[in-house]
Amino acid sequence: MANHSAHSAAAPSPGQPAGHSHAGHGHGHHDVSKEIRKYMLVFGALIVGTIVTVAASKVDFGGHGMNIAVALLIALVKGFLVAAFFMHLIDEKKLIYGVLGATVFFFAGLMYITLWCSEPGSFIHIKKPTEAKQPAAQPAKH
Residue 127 lies in a domain: no
Residue 87 maps to a domain: yes
Four-residue CA torsion sign, 12, 13, 14, 19: negative
Q: With 70 as the cut, is the pLDDT of residue 91 above it?
A: yes
Beta strand ranges found along the chain (DSSP E): none
CA 81 vs CA 41, 42, 86, 88, 114: distances in Å = 10, 7, 8, 10, 26
Is 46 a member of any domain? yes
**92, part of any domain:** yes
What pLDDT does residue 98 have?
84
Residue 78, in any domain of the structure: yes
Q: Is residue 77 part of a domain?
A: yes
Taking only the tens place, the pLDDT of each residue in 6-60 is 444 444 555 555 544 445 555 677 788 888 999 999 999 999 999 999 999 999 9
- Residue 89 pLDDT level (bands cut at 50, 70, 90): confident
Q: Is residue 130 part of a domain?
A: no
Domain count, the chain: 1
* 128 assigned to some structural domain: no
By residue range, what is the domain housing residue 41?
A: 31-118
